[in-house]
Amino acid sequence: MSMRNVGIVYRKELTEALRDRRTVISTILVPLLLFPVLSVGFGSLAVTLVGKAKEEVPKVMLRGGEDSPAVIEGLKKLDKIEIVPETPGWKDQIINKEIRAAVEIPSGFQADVAQQKSDTVKIFNYQGEMKSEFASDKIETYMKEYRDKVVKERLAAKNLAETVLKPFEVNRENVAPPEKVSGAAFGGIIGYMVILLCMTGAMYPSMDLTAGEKERGTMETILSSPISRMHLVLGKFFLILTAALGTAALSVLSMGVSFSVLSHYTGKTEGGRAAAAEFVLKLGPKTVISVFLMALPIAVLFSATLMTIALFAKTYKEAQSYLTPMTFVVIIPAVAAMLPGVELTPKLSLIPILGTSLLCKELVAGTYHWNLIAIIFASNCVYAAVALFLAIKMFQRESVLFRS
Amino acid sequence: MIEARALSKRFQDKKRGEIRAVDNVSFTCQPGKIYGLLGANGAGKTTTLRMLATILEPTDGTAIVCGHDVVEQPEKVRANVGFLSTATALYRRLTAQEFVEYFGRLNGLDEATLKKRVDDIFNRLDMNGFRDRRCDKLSTGMMQKTSIARTLVHDPPVMIFDEPTNGLDIMTARTITAFIRECRNSGKTVIFSTHIMSEVEKLCDTIGIIQSGKLLVEGSLDQLRDKYAEHELEEIFVKVVTPHFVAEEAN
């Protein structure tokens, strides 16, 4: 096989691709800008909003409680809560966000507590509204602390130890290192993004180099040159593969930079620091290389498959209508891998996209199941080889090249 | 030299069944001569020429181009052929020079030979004014010159022209016909298809009339005039083609 000819076609396709605005946008700009916009943009906005919401002093309306001065006094002393007196239309005020919550102390509450009668304190809020939830949480925490204090006093009065009511504690302790915790939480997303961007990166060039070439009338020009069709298809294939891997590489790079910028930026406020701790994900070079090695056969599979399908089309638009449904074929198994409880097993590892996606999740978490890695890599190589073989065969069929 | 030996091409059509686009066509084109393949639209001209250029593979029969079999050695055939048609477009995002160089490299030229050949062709065709301009910014005439340069870059002994002036304005068409003459004068074997009678009259040494995929008659213009007792090629063409056309319509 003459690699010289494959190289000539590849270099020419690369020159053309880099001069094409649509290719540059889909393979370079989108992956570079997608994560900064999504994470630094929306992420920092979300973190800032959560931080600000936590720092805001919400207004909470007090209903009743005139005969329970100690409770009222305690509520008024609460940090970062403004207790306001009852006014008509309080429910509408909560809905309209004029006040964040209301607390109803039943009549004779303090006396009832003293006489060991049971009462109910009601907290009214706007469910799902962040600031209203924060205000309600503060009131609820205070009331629970007050209840615990009453219980303690009653036990003390009867000379009983606190352990009567709480004979033992139940504690949960994380033994996984931070990168494994964040990997388990976000690893699925990394695999999903790499796989999806491999696909989107390959999509535009695969259409442009096949159906686009037919539409522009250059297919006959190139077929009249002495290059063999196998060399031609390989030159085109390598360009599509470059676009697929380039898009995925740029997206991971962009993702890494975005996460570090996000953690740096959000560290400026106290609320932001707390929220940012949940978002931070560290990707080491070993993880990045592993994810890319596993993405390689998938990228070959996508490049060859998309090129074969697009080759059937007579025009670029027709190719678009064939390839758009392919996105769902890729998204469904990739999303399935993100579902909680879906674990990597030998059987699942044979399913092309699902296996890789699940493996990426494990790799990001720092777990290396070498036998499953071997199964996934080998099976994906087989699928990729079959797809590439089909692409070469299709390029030799006149009924496909000159379909009318 | 081109020697077509019982060339045939059949296509399968879902509605019409089997279509015989080219049916048992044989002819010979000599070096230093222009062979004109004359036929109406859909007569089988393009399919015949595409088989000679090995873009399509014959269903039956074969052709020998410069001693190479189109079925057995398609890549060697293509290395000896320059193929030009209105369907052979340019790569829009390459410059005229890059486009010609690309095809030179695909034809196996080394960089030193390629540079010399490209400079030579660009000077000869007066293309230096737009050699660094992208093909999508070229006028129709410039595009045709670039296409010509592409067919010449490897200096092939055989030139195949498929309706090369179709849809072109008169000045651009004249550039093409002048180029075809030049190819003959330099000793190349030239085959050229058209449905424009005046071009055939002006250019061709041998004329083959094709209809429904069959080569109906072949000879020089004078031979055809004698045989059909008509002076105008158009009248000769109508006389040759009409019986087959009527039969085809009846079917």
pTM to 2 decimal places:
0.80
Q: Give Cα B144 to chain centroid, integer Å.
A: 14
Q: Under an 8 A CB cutoff, do A15 and B87 touch?
A: no
Nearest to A209 by CA among A297, A319, A328, A327: A319
Select from A22, A216, A220, A229 the residue whose CB has the most chain B CBs within 10 Å, as the one to mutate to test that interface: A220
* pLDDT value, residue A279: 47
Q: What phi-psi label fits residue B40: left (phi over 0), alpha (psi between -120 and 50 degrees) or beta?
A: beta
User: Which chain B residues contact residue A19 at CB under 8 A?
Assistant: 93, 134
* pLDDT value, residue B108: 92
Answer for the pair A390, A307: CB distance below 8 angstroms, yes or no: no
pLDDT band at residue A143 using 50, 70 and 90 as cut-offs: very high
Residue A76 has pLDDT above 90, yes or no: no
Mean of pLDDT values over A371-389: 88
Does the CB of A24 have a partner CB in chain B at under 8 Å?
Answer: no
- Who has greater pLDDT, A272 or A315? A315
pLDDT digits (tens, 9 = 90+) for B141-187: 899 889 999 999 999 999 999 988 887 788 888 888 998 999 999 99
User: H or E segment at B27?
Assistant: strand B17-29
Stretch among A30-39, A83-92, B3-12, B41-50 having the lowest mean pLDDT: A30-39
Q: Which residues, 6+ apart, have CB-to-CB distance to B21 below 8 Å?
A: B9, B10, B11, B44, B47, B213
Mean of pLDDT values over B192-208: 91
Query: How many C-beta atoms lie closer than 10 Å to residue A97's C-beta?
Result: 13
Spell A183-200 as b/e; 16+ CB within 10 A means b: bbebbbbbbbbbbbbbbb
Nearest to A402 by CA among A240, A219, A254: A219
Residue A330 has pLDDT above 60, yes or no: yes
pLDDT digits (tens, 9 = 90+) for B71-130: 999 999 999 999 998 777 899 999 999 999 999 999 999 999 999 999 999 998 889 999
Mean of pLDDT values over A194-220: 90
DSSP secondary structure of B143-202 = HHHHHHHHHHTT--SEEEEESTTTT--HHHHHHHHHHHHHHHHTT-EEEEEES-HHHHHH
pLDDT band at residue A404 using 50, 70 and 90 as cut-offs: low
Select from A2, A9, A12 the residue whose CB has the most chain B CBs within 10 Å, as the one to mutate to test that interface: A12
Q: Tell the CATH topology of A57-162.
A: D-Maltodextrin-Binding Protein; domain 2 (3.40.190)
CATH architecture assigned to B2-80+156-250: 3-Layer(aba) Sandwich (3.40)
Q: Which of A8, A19, A220 lies closest to B106 in CB terms?
A: A8
- Who has greater pLDDT, A354 or B206? B206
Domain layout of chain A by residue ranges = 3-51+176-401, 57-162
Q: Which of A9, A224, A228 lies closest to B88 in CB terms?
A: A224
